[in-house]
Amino acid sequence: MSENHSEFDRLVKARRTSLLVDKSRAVPDSLIEEICDLAMWAPNHKRTWPWRFAHVKGEGRAAYGNTVADALATAGKDEDAVAKARTKFLRSPSLIVVGSAQGEDQLRTDENRDAVAAGIQTLLLAATARGLATYWGSCPPPAQKAVADFCGFDRGTAIIGHIYVGWPTGAPEAPARPELRVNHIG
């Protein structure tokens, strides 16, 4: 295996879902832009360029949490979930909200989402390569519309990821992967 391959392999396996971050140490906007830019190099059927990014930081995080919490309360979610949403985005100094544009039909909408998910993995790896910790969480369905509005995304944009980003203070253990099975046919 060439040296380049082993470097890439190590990076892929080093990426962890982690919220062990320094909440008080900001991530520069320029770094956030670098990793979002790399996400745009994911494959994308029909070149619809469906990814949408918003960087929520500082006082924006509490406002974002209130937006999510209010949407959950309106949808009748339980008090604990609502209360948690108000503060959970303060767990990292930066949050990247990643959206996926609606397509002209369901197939294109699905393919857009696939492209955005592929882009998120690139973003996570780019962050790892820069020494940043990341955590990909989902946006609860009842909050999707309010979040799209908050982020300035078009109506119909699906929120694919809450990506918490920060400087690591520790590293969780890697969850083991199942045994590889590849059906080689022919």
Ligand X SMILES: Cc1cc2nc3c(=O)[nH]c(=O)nc-3n(C[C@H](O)[C@H](O)[C@H](O)COP(=O)(O)O)c2cc1C
- Three-state DSSP class for 81? helix
Restricting to residues 140-169, name those near ligand X by CB under 6 A: none
What is the edge-to-edge ordering of all strands in the sheet holding 158-166? 51-57, 94-100, 158-166, 133-137
Q: How many residues bind ligand X (CB under 6 A)?
A: 6
Of these, 76, 175, 178, 186, which contacts ligand X (CB under 6 A)?
175
Closer residue to ligand X, CB minimum distance, 29 or 87: 87
CA–CA gap between residue 136 and residue 121 (Å, rounded):
10
Query: At closest approach, how far in Å is the CB of 100 from ligand X?
Result: 12
154: three-class secondary structure by DSSP: coil
Residue 118 binds to ligand X (criterion: CB under 6 A): no
CB closer to ligand X out of 105 and 142: 142
Q: How far is CA 17 from CA 33, 71, 186, in A?
A: 20, 26, 37
What single DSSP character describes residue 152? Answer: T
Contact between 122 and ligand X by CB under 6 A: the answer reads no
CB of 135 to ligand X, least distance (A): 7
Alpha helices in the chain (DSSP H): 3-14, 29-39, 60-74, 79-87, 106-129, 144-151
Q: Pick from 136, 140, 149, 168: which binds ligand X (CB under 6 A)?
A: 136
Q: Which residues contact 13 (CB under 8 A, 6 or more apart)?
A: 174
- For ligand X, which is the closer residue by CB, 26 or 117? 117
**Which of these segments, 30-38, 80-88, 133-141, 146-154, binds ligand X (CB under 6 A)?**
133-141
Q: Rule CB under 6 A: is residue 138 a binding residue for ligand X? A: yes
Q: Which is nearer to ligand X, 26 or 91 (CB)?
A: 91
Which of 13, 58 has the CB closer to ligand X?
Answer: 13
